Amino acid sequence: MKKKPVEAPKTAVHLADIRGPEDLKALSDEELSALAGEIRTCLCERVEENGGHLASNLGVVELTLAIHRVFDSPKDHVIFDVGHQSYVHKLLTGRYEQFDTLRRPGGLGGFPKRSESEHDAFGTGHASTSISAALGFAEADKLSGSDAYTVCLFGDGAYTGGMIHEALNNNHRKLRLILILNENEMSISKNTGRFAKNISKIRARRGYYKAKKATVSFLWHIPLIGKPIYRLIHKIKRALKSALYGSNYFENLGFTYYGPVDGNDEAAVENLLREAKRTGRACVLHVKTKKGKGYAPAEENPDRYHGLSPKNCKTDEVGSFSKTFGEELCALAKEDPRLIAITAAMVDGTGLCEFAKTYPQKFFDVGIAEEHAVTFAAGLAAAGMRPVVAIYSTFLQRAYDNILHDVALQNLPVVFCIDRAGLNSSDGPTHHGIFDVAFLSQVPGLTLYTPATHASLKKALKQALSDNCPAAVRYPKGGENSRIVQAFYPNGEDNEIRVRSDFDPAKKEALDSLIITHGRIAAEALAAKELAQKEGKSVGILLLEQLKPYEKVADEILPYLPQKACKVLFLEEEIYAGGMGMMMRDSLDRIGALANKKVSILALRDSFGIQECDEPLLRSVGLDKESILKNL
């Protein structure tokens, strides 16, 4: 039986009473404590029901309360890195009554979203972007003469991304910019020992800065010797800090540094934030929070409770592509000592946990640094290794130049295993994998595989590793669809990567329409075919296990095309421009295969796949079975 969050003391103020940040300003310490408890209960109930990020949000309850008590959103801008820890912010900024709709179709998003609330200053979803955006706000306020502050909350995980360092390098003191480094996993500053911990406690007390100001004022007013004494004390203090904490990276970059402080101590955080605000210049507050705070299961297993699936999630999918990939890579590594696995802070998500344990010397988690991951792989390949880079589709976009310039231009045999390909409804548009087919289709010399079953994934991975060129294998979140297996592999798998059909090629002339597709969306094509058959239409479907080279695949499609006039529909759950439909139609046109065919392409047209209304995602973006039927 799961333990529930610790119940908060009874209070006259409830979460439902908080209509905006201004309602937090006058609350007592007791009321704040009770409110924090109520927030945690609400988070546990809603996130376990709807899915989403739980542990990270439980850890920032007091921190978010302190931010909204000290600053005045939306005048002051609050920016989150990634944004998976913004649920508390949503609850405190007038969205409590909508919180039941979190991550549901047409409901609250799982990340900050400018169109959702004036309190969401900047939309996020990917890591390491926050400080760059915050600098933009702070510089804009400075140029316009605004006295607004910009508050940026980023974690030590995001700190592994290169953009964080690029942004910090552009800072200067004269900005009303407050950066909050939330450390909950790894240690960045050197702060060992009981003496160091006591120093940080002293700095967090409300009377510390008042006493500090009085001391400075007293020394400066002593004739002749006052200022030299102050400078000596200040010099000794800096030396002591350096001995305790090491060289302070932030202070060397021009920030005033506060902390580290217990981020789950609302009063301590609030005190330091008020002091940082008083300075009127760029500051860094270093806080330490506990993931899953207040909920025992999440505290004990923060990784497990980082991202939860919806409670009553029904699916026709079997198994997990990520797990299959990880298992097959382990098997292939036994045969090829050159095989190396690389990921960008997604060990569990990409299914590489077992590989990391079995082959620790051949496994590299480079952090949230996709560009580095790709060029690192290029170096390994140039040195004779066979690197496999496992990255989510939405994050691979960040490394486009590295794929082109460092891998493809040199024709290096790097294999990209692209997880979460296609639409991903729960996380929304920031996590849709809808652009990889289009941008990889432009890369000269790269082969692109699109397995739709576990067995075809294994085949594609093995083939990609044997190709002496750049290769990519893309597959969706979740597992294979049993309908796809039954329709396209009725006699089981074979060892060949080819075009698959759900009809007898000898009977192709009887077809009124032909659907050409790849990946998971084939299941929706099969459902549309059933509807078409009820209307008396004869429909065939081709499932492509490989897309690129397009000319090669076009030649394989030819035997399945009816000679008579008929409709040909290219179907994909990716972006239209530069996608499979456009590229394959062009290749077939060049060999005269579509001369008497009525051709249409059903894909996302100039869209990020934003689900605005309360309906299934495929219907919302026009890729459901009814939309397919209209094109047949």
Give the CATH architecture of domain 15-189+248-300: 3-Layer(aba) Sandwich (3.40)
Q: What is the pLDDT of residues 544-573, one digit of tens each?
A: 999 999 999 999 999 999 999 999 999 999
Q: Which residue in this structure is represented by tokens 């219907």?
A: 619
Which of 119, 135, 143, 111 has the alpha carbon at shortest distance from 68?
119
Res 13: pLDDT: 78
Pairing, β 499-501 against β 539-544: antiparallel
The whole-number average pLDDT for the span 378-395 is 97
Q: What is the mean pLDDT of residues 143-154?
A: 96
Q: Where are the alpha helices (DSSP H) in 170-294?
A: 194-204, 206-220, 226-245, 249-252, 266-279
Q: How far apart are CA 100 and CA 47, in angstroms?
A: 9
* Class in CATH terms, 317-474: alpha beta
pLDDT in the model for residue 493 = 81
Q: How far is CA 589 from CA 28, 42, 53, 121, in A?
A: 72, 57, 47, 47
Q: What's the token pair of residue 530?
A: 């059933």
Pick the CATH number of 481-630 from 3.30.450.40, 3.90.1260.10, 3.40.50.920, 3.40.50.720: 3.40.50.920
pTM of the predicted model as reported, rounded to 2 decimal places = 0.85
Higher-confidence residue of 509 and 2: namely 509
Question: pLDDT band for position 579 (50/70/90)?
Answer: very high
Q: What residue ranges do the domains of the chain occupy?
A: 15-189+248-300, 317-474, 481-630
Residue 2 in this model has a pLDDT that exceeds 80: no
Q: How far apart are CA 345 and CA 155, in angstroms?
A: 13
Residues 6+ apart with CB under 8 A from 329: 339, 341, 352, 355, 388, 461
**Active-site residue set:** 291, 370, 398
Tell me phi and psi for residue 626, to 5 degrees.
Answer: -70, -40
pLDDT of residue 502: 96
- 278 versus 6: the higher-pLDDT residue is 278
Answer whether residue 301 shows pLDDT above 90. Answer: no
- The fraction of the chain above a pLDDT of 90, given in percent, is 73
Query: And the tokens for 607?
Result: 């869209």
* Nearest-angstrom CA–CA distance, 463 and 468: 10
Distance of CA 26 to the CA centre of its chain: 36
pLDDT tens by residue, 9-38: 555 679 999 999 999 999 999 999 999 999
Distance CA 245, CA 385 (A): 40
What pLDDT does residue 595 have?
93
Residue 318's pLDDT band (boundaries 50, 70, 90)?
confident
How far is 421 from 333, CA to CA, in rounded Å?
A: 24
pLDDT value, residue 184: 78
Q: What local confidence, expressed as pLDDT, does residue 198 receive?
A: 43
Domain pair 15-189+248-300 / 481-630, same fold: yes
- Average pLDDT score, the chain: 88
- pLDDT of 589 above 70: yes
Q: Per-residue pLDDT for 210 more than 50?
A: yes
Helix ranges, 478-521 (H): 482-488
pLDDT tens digits along 355-368: 999 999 999 999 99
Residue 290 CA to residue 60 CA, distance in Å, equals 8
User: Does pLDDT of 437 surpass 90?
Assistant: yes
| % of the chain surpassing 70 pLDDT | 87
| Per-residue confidence (pLDDT) for residue 295, from 0 to 100 | 82
